[in-house]
């Protein structure tokens, strides 16, 4: 009897519309490359520590279910926001994890996540090498924020960008029809604590039949509220309906978040990140007070990361590809790496997967470069638009049952 | 030479995903019934008073453009919120309107809108009869709020309900994957000042693979915040992720809006309606303070009425049908009527259009009946679900160009 070769996969951090397409890619490639069991950690490394896992073949029985998984938003296996301690601070946690991996006969450990999740891959692969364990640890990129280093972009970003651009177009149409002989300012708040990739995606709504937003503010540049007010006043001389896109994370020169000006409460998560909300609402009431016209604020909120009904086909396919590429790399002996997407060509758009040392990726944030924002700091450049545009192409229709998108759920 | 027979159509009030499908129905039927010119008022009656109108044949050149119009959200012609004065208070306004109608050779005046717009049809048809004008005035129902009397439901409601139900399903998936060993309460705020039809639609997300929201609160019943807190505490004994749907317009026993408790500013529109926002945010901070667990609030906001990418085919078709039926009724001599939708059969679902005296519709609000809400006042009944379900069936894919839904816009 040949030795059993098992693999385990987990999902971590904020979910996306296509995180399950990566899971499908891991599952399918693992089966095709002859792994015996494909385990799924429930709620990532945190669940694994409680020995919470499933055999994925008990969940996915047919190719149609695999397709349905690819169209299901949010982490199928459950997610977590759990930061592994430093190895020297708490070796017991590591001993427990490797005891469980040994018990399950795991050869490869695949973790689908963002920055914080790559920190987990880094620590586990370091520990394995130090202690002489043979398991391979591979990271699969996932984040709507697109802030991972070394990869051209991250799976999840394209679909979020597509949802944001489509919704911005619809909001602009809504605003235009309501503004006859009166002014209205619409402020759209987009996710992005430090990186403005998603907020920039609102510019994709500028098409042959739509002006797109009038002003775009990213968190990479300090937000000058006086200049902002002047920009808006100038625009109101030319048009009645002004639409402005802002990142939730824009900050004043002095470092305060704009959303803090409203005096709301702020929740801090396990990684010490402040939960930001209310930036658009604050600016809407500010402009209403300063200018006296009607204003409204719209937060696209959680829908940005779970609206799989507006997923991009390019994104779904790439998410699947990086999941499969991680299994291939682990199977070929790689460890301590994250799969990255390389842009092979812009026109026509082509991409391929390779791997990169996770130590150079974890805890690093990729921000929008200064030269992809205009001089005034209130719009993005064509280079930025050309970068995103290929990532929102193609559709992936949900399986509609009884009028609603169907999802695959854990049994 | 035979006499010219011209018709004019306008759109009014808050836009919907399918208001342009009614416009397409008016245009196509008017052309087929031999009307010469089909004029469109720009920004409804308010624009007409400024002699702002277009010849629609200058905008719609092909059948494909007509199809594109049906897939374009928000009022193609522009909308307004303009209340006609009482006839005896300001006859000059009426004289001006009829002078313009006479000049354009208008035989029929079609107005697509909600409650306030039917008030316009009522006044204009009354004036015409009093003064001996021959024009016919017909209303076409439109409102996501579904609060018009005498019609089984209103075009626009089904698509908003479909978007809300689909988004609620996606938000529930998002919440579930984030709640391992910790509690989180998600509060979704849905449009609806006095009528809870849209908030009830969140219950459609209860399917074979989704629990749906745990609690649903409509504005028809007083909101008891102590009972609410107890309900939530009971639920938290059984599950980690609680999802609650509330109408923006829920009120306490003493008549205060819940959103007023947070002390925010409230804008009042031309019809004296308060703009409500912040109900979910207030309840999220209330529960967070009382229970101490993580809470989050999500407002579906404007997207509920403009997300034509999630339109219901039944809704699109019925919107087209009522537009056409209004032209037919006017052409056959009817006036002072609104087209209504009659539910011919539940199973299979069938509907037909007829007309009803607008005097019995205008300024009347249809609320959710008490027996369609459960005894405790925190969920809806199966009768309510069976009523909505047929209205969200079938899809109407947007025309995707460069990865985004394409719209027809005024040239």
Q: Say if residue B238 is in the same domain as residue B330.
A: no
Task: Mark whether A214 is an active-site residue.
Answer: no
Compute the mean pLDDT over every residue in chain A, rounded to the nearest whole number. Answer: 94
Q: Determine the pLDDT at residue A3.
A: 74
**Does residue A152 or residue A259 have the better pLDDT?**
A152
Average pLDDT for A19-36: 98
Is the pLDDT assigned to residue A278 strictly greater than 80? yes
Mean pLDDT lowest for which of A6-20, A73-87, A264-278, A288-302? Answer: A264-278
Is the pLDDT assigned to residue A268 strictly greater than 60? no
Q: Say if residue B285 is in the same domain as residue B314.
A: no
Q: Determine the pLDDT at residue A267.
A: 46
Classify residue A369: in a domain, yes or no. Answer: no
Q: Say if residue A243 is in the same domain as residue A354.
A: no
The CATH number of residue B21's host domain is: 3.40.50.450
**Does residue B317 or residue A263 have the better pLDDT?**
B317
Classify residue A374: in a domain, yes or no. Answer: no
The CATH number of residue B174's host domain is: 3.40.50.460
Residue B9 β-bridge partners: B40, B110
A392 close to B (CB below 8 A): yes
A176 close to B (CB below 8 A): yes
Classify residue A390: in a domain, yes or no. Answer: no
Q: Which residues on B lie below 8 Å from A210 (Cβ)?
A: 407, 409
Q: Determine the pLDDT at residue A394.
A: 97
Q: Determine the pLDDT at residue B181.
A: 85
> Which positions 36-65 of A are in contact with B (Cβ < 8 Å)?
42-43, 46-47
Q: Determine the pLDDT at residue B363.
A: 78
Q: Say if residue A178 is in the same domain as residue A285.
A: yes
Is the pLDDT assigned to residue A342 strictly greater than 70? yes
Q: Say if residue B230 is in the same domain as residue B340.
A: no
Classify residue A381: in a domain, yes or no. Answer: no
Closest residue of chain B to A396, computed from CA coordinates: B403
Task: Give the pLDDT band of residue A277 (cuts 50, 70, 90).
Answer: low
List of residues 6+ apart from B246 with CB closer than 8 A: B187, B188, B189, B190, B199, B216, B217, B258, B279, B280, B283
Catalytic residue among B116, B145, B147, B214: B145
Q: Say if residue A118 is in the same domain as residue A28.
A: yes
List of residues 6+ apart from B226 with CB closer than 8 A: none
B180 close to A (CB below 8 A): yes
Q: Say if residue B318 is in the same domain as residue B335.
A: yes
For A71, the domain range is 6-143+150-156+310-364+397-405
- Among B42, B81, B169, the residue with its CB nearest the CB of A404 is B169
Q: Which residues on B lie below 8 Å from A302 (Cβ)?
A: 171, 174, 296, 298
Q: Say if residue A133 is in the same domain as residue A166.
A: no
Q: Say if residue B273 is in the same domain as residue B187.
A: yes
Q: Say if residue B11 is in the same domain as residue B148.
A: yes
Closest residue of chain A to B75, computed from CA coordinates: A177
Contact indicator for B199, B247 with CB cutoff of 8 Å: yes
**B403 with A312: Cβ contact below 8 A:** yes
Task: Give the pLDDT band of residue A260 (cuts 50, 70, 90).
Answer: confident
Is the pLDDT assigned to residue A351 strictly greater than 90? yes
- Among B298, B394, B405, the residue with its CB nearest the CB of A301 is B298
Contact indicator for A180, B81 with CB cutoff of 8 Å: no
Mean pLDDT lowest for which of A136-140, A188-192, B262-266, B284-288? Answer: B262-266
Classify residue B380: in a domain, yes or no. Answer: no
Q: Say if residue B128 is in the same domain as residue B245.
A: no
Q: Which residues on B lie below 8 Å from A15 (Cβ)?
A: 173-174, 177-178
Residue B318 CA to residue B161 CA, distance in Å, equals 15
Tens-digit pLDDT profile for chain B (411 aa)? 567 799 999 999 999 999 999 999 999 999 999 999 999 999 999 999 999 999 999 999 999 999 999 999 999 999 999 999 999 999 999 999 999 999 999 999 999 999 889 999 999 999 999 999 999 999 999 999 999 999 999 999 999 999 999 999 999 999 999 888 899 999 999 999 999 999 999 999 999 999 999 999 999 999 999 999 999 999 999 999 999 999 999 999 999 999 888 755 444 444 555 556 689 999 999 999 999 999 999 999 999 999 999 999 999 999 999 999 999 999 999 999 999 999 999 999 999 999 999 999 877 899 999 999 999 999 999 999 999 999 999 999 999 999 999 999 999
Based on the structure, what is the number of domains in chain A?
A: 2
Task: Give the pLDDT band of residue A266 (cuts 50, 70, 90).
Answer: very low
Give the domain-ending residue among B306, B333, B352: B306
Give the domain-ending residue among A258, A282, A306: A306
**A174 with B302: Cβ contact below 8 A:** yes
Is the pLDDT assigned to residue A399 strictly greater than 70? yes
Classify residue B370: in a domain, yes or no. Answer: no
Residue A247 CA to residue B7 CA, distance in Å, equals 47
Task: Give the pLDDT band of residue A276 (cuts 50, 70, 90).
Answer: low
Q: Say if residue B176 is in the same domain as residue B87.
A: no
Q: Which residues on B lie below 8 Å from A43 (Cβ)?
A: 177, 180-181
CA distances from A154 to A16, A193, A328 (A): 11, 16, 19
Start-to-end C-alpha separation, chain B: 31
**Which 3 state secondary structure label does DSSP give B137?**
strand
Which ipTM did the prediction report? 0.94
Task: Give the pLDDT band of residue A263 (cuts 50, 70, 90).
Answer: low
Give the domain-ending residue among B261, B280, B306: B306
Contact indicator for A245, A213 with CB cutoff of 8 Å: yes
Classify residue B129: in a domain, yes or no. Answer: yes
Give DSSP secondary structure letters for B56-83. Answer: GGGT--SHHHHHHHHT--S-TT-----P
Distance from CA of B324 to the nearest CA of A (A): 23
Q: Determine the pLDDT at residue A269.
A: 46
Classify residue B275: in a domain, yes or no. Answer: yes
Contact indicator for A330, A138 with CB cutoff of 8 Å: yes
A240 close to B (CB below 8 A): no
């Amino acid at each position: 009897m040949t030795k059993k070769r098992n693999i385990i996969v987990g999902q971590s951090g904020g979910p996306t519309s296509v995180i399950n397409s990566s899971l499908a890619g891991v599952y399918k490639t693992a089966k095709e490359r002859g792994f015996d069991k494909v385990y799924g950690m429930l709620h990532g490394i945190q669940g694994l520590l409680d020995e919470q896992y499933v055999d994925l073949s008990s969940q996915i029985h047919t190719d149609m279910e695999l397709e349905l998984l690819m169209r299901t938003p949010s982490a199928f296996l459950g997610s977590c926001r759990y930061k592994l301690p430093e190895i020297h601070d708490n070796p017991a946690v590591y001993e427990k994890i490797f005891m469980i991996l040994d018990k399950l006969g795991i050869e490869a450990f695949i973790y689908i996540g963002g920055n914080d999740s790559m920190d987990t891959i880094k620590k586990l692969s370091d520990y394995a090498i130090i202690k002489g364990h043979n398991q391979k640890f591979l990271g699969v990129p996932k984040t709507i924020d697109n802030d991972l280093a070394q990869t051209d972009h991250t799976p999840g970003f394209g679909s979020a960008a597509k949802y944001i651009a489509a919704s911005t177009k619809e909001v602009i149409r809504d605003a235009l029809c309501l503004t006859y002989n009166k002014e209205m300012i619409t402020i759209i708040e987009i996710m992005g604590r430090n990186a403005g990739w998603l907020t920039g995606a609102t510019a994709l709504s500028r098409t042959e039949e739509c002006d797109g937003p009038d002003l775009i503010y990213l968190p990479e540049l300090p937000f000058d509220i006086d200049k902002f007010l002047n920009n808006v006043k100038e625009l109101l001389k030319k048009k009645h309906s002004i639409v402005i896109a802002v990142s939730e994370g824009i900050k004043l020169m002095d470092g305060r978040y704009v959303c803090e000006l409203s005096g709301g409460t702020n929740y801090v998560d396990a990684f010490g990140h402040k939960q930001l909300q209310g930036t658009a609402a604050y600016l809407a009431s500010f402009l209403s007070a300063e200018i006296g016209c009607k204003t409204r604020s719209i937060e696209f909120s959680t829908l940005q990361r779970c609206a799989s009904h507006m997923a991009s086909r390019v994104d779904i396919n790439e998410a699947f590809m990086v999941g499969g590429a991680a299994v291939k790399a682990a199977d070929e002996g790689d460890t301590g790496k994250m799969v990255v997407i390389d842009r092979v060509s812009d026109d026509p758009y082509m991409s391929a997967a390779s791997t990169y040392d996770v130590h150079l990726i974890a805890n690093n944030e990729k921000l929008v470069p200064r030269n992809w924002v205009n001089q005034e700091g209130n719009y993005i450049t064509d280079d930025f638009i050309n970068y995103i545009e290929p990532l929102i192409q193609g559709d992936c229709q949900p399986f509609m049952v009884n009028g609603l998108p169907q999802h695959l759920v854990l049994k």
